[in-house]
Chains A and B, each alone.
Chain A
Amino acid sequence: MIARRGLIAGAGALLGKPLVARAQAQARVVVIGGGFAGATAARFLQRANRQLDIVLVETNAGYLACPLSNEVIAGERAIAAQRFDYRAIAAAGVLVVQAEATAVDPVARKVALNTGGTLSYDRLILAPGIDIAWGALPGYDEAASDVLPHAWKAGAQTLLLRKQLESMEDGGVVVISAPANPYRCPPGPYERASLIAAWLAKHRPRSKLLLLDAKDAFSKQKLFEAAWARFYPGLLERVSLSDGGKVTSVNPASRTFTTDFDTHRADVGNVVPPQHAGRIAALAGVADRTGWCPVDPATFESKLQPGVHVIGDAAIAGAMPKSAFAANAQAKVCADAVATLLAGGTPVEPKLINVCYSRVAPNYGISVAGVYRPLNGQLTEIPGAGGPSPLDAPDAQRAQEAEYANVWFRTITGETFG
């Protein structure tokens, strides 16, 4: 563990450096947010140009990863396996400051911290992830999440949902509500429903899982539906938007989910809530009226504030989903673009890959892939490439993709934090 005092003292030393001398000597890039996007960006900037002065600002001492956290909810995995820290990033030469960024002045190019200091920057990379849009779903505020957990940021909420499932008696009803697009991890609600169903089938076999969906179509839909029909018939039921699945309000006191047609009482209720870019994005003036951040598809520079780049879940990345793989890929492209811009060059038009695995049953994994390039100001999927795993793949391939999901997690967390 790096002592908090040491980090702040380090930041103070940086702040004390004369601005002019620093500008002549080396450019500074401040990265806000230490998730898959921000931590990767800090690391790869450092690698791209060792002369750069790179500061990573992160509120927490460590990071709890969301990918595979549905396995924690299903009792298959320990939360400790989701935990990472910033020691390797600091050892590589990035200054890691444990603080919350409370304001950004994009004209003066300064970031204010809750610890009282300010950091000046030549370029800023914002990677704040998501915040829950409390109140966007009537009845769902922060207090409601103590009863109806969202578990959409890994940590205490993940463990709360796990505990509620363990406490539920056989014959109970689990209700999950899935939001309209866009939101973090498009296939996440469906993977979660699958893995909870697998646990129910084994431990609470007379129970039911009801998935109320504000959408008609979703990621890897045919693959999920084929697996549900095979593994969880009569146990897992999804109600689509057209069939009245959109939840219009929730009531934590009665644990009820209300749609236009019905009210469903849950023994365990999980709300995957509406979301927007992490709070600092709006404070920095880089979020638009949707709550997300429009960016240049080649450099991830904000279309609203020059000198500020936005990557990961907070960005509007066209056809690219809000996934950890995409965040990591965007971070590497953005790091190269920022290093090139600071050196006075012109970044090339990139291509980016996304691969996303979902576990649906034991030894049964599915994937979707995409390759993206800028087209007409948006990241656009290249036709003829990507797509989901084949619908008719043999079980051996599903087992292989289940294993690849674990392989991918070890690799990407190693690259980002290790």
Chain B
Amino acid sequence: MKVRAALAAAVLLGAAGPPPIGASSCSGCHGSASPLPALAGRNPSELVAILEGYRAGTRPSTVMGRIVRGFSQDETVAIATWLAAEQ
């Protein structure tokens, strides 16, 4: 429910605004100059599902599994919704 409410709020707001907790670090690897998959403008539900897959260990990774465990699900939802609104 929380996820859906946050996603709906982000869609309503329609702008990225200041980054939520932790979000500004992501571009250290996933910036616009990166050959890694872009995060800005991605479907937030898809991003949340990917991040939760890393957390659960059901989705393989080199480093993301180690990073996502530093964030609560509320925080990953806020980061994903902010990234979705980024240009």
Contact = CB atoms under 8 A, between A and B. Distances in A.
Given A355-B63, A384-B69, A415-B33, A348 B21 contact: yes
A367 B67 CA distance: 12
Interface in A20-59: 44, 48
Given A367-B63, A385-B70, A400-B62, A329 B24 contact: yes
Interface string A391-406: 0000001001100100
B43 interface: no
Contacts of A389: 62-63
Given A371-B71, A384-B69, A414 B29 contact: no
Given A332-B25, A336-B18, A351-B22, A414 B67 contact: no
Contacts of A369: 63, 66-67
A84 to B, nearest CB: 12
A389 B22 CA distance: 22
Contacts of A413: 33
Given A351-B22, A371-B22, A397-B62, A411 B28 contact: yes
Contacts of A353: 22, 25-26, 28, 67, 70
Nearest to A416: B31
A408 interface: yes
Interface string B44-81: 00000000000000000011001111110001000000
A384 B18 CA distance: 27
Contacts of A106: none
A387 interface: yes
Contacts of A244: none
Given A329-B28, A367-B62, A407-B36, A385 B22 contact: no
Nearest to A410: B33
Contact of A401 (B18, B33, B62, B66): B62
Interface string A364-381: 000101110000000000
B63 A382 contact: no
B41 interface: no
A352 B22 contact: yes
Interface centre among B19, B35, B70, B75 (most CB of A within 10 A): B70
A155 interface: no
Nearest to A382: B70
A318 to B, nearest CB: 15
A285 interface: no
A353 B71 CA distance: 10
A226 to B, nearest CB: 17
Contacts of B28: 325, 328-329, 353, 355, 408, 411-412, 415
Contacts of A370: 70
3 closest Cβ pairs, A-B complex = A414-B33, A371-B70, A385-B70
Given A367-B63, A412-B28, 13 more contacts: A332-B19, A350-B24, A351-B25, A351-B71, A352-B22, A353-B22, A369-B66, A385-B66, A385-B70, A413-B33, A414-B32, A414-B34, A415-B28
Interface of A: 44, 48, 325, 328-329, 332-333, 336, 340, 348-353, 355, 367, 369-371, 382, 384-387, 389, 397, 400-401, 404, 407-408, 410-415, 418
10 contacts: A353-B70, A355-B67, A384-B69, A386-B66, A386-B69, A408-B29, A410-B33, A411-B27, A411-B28, A414-B31
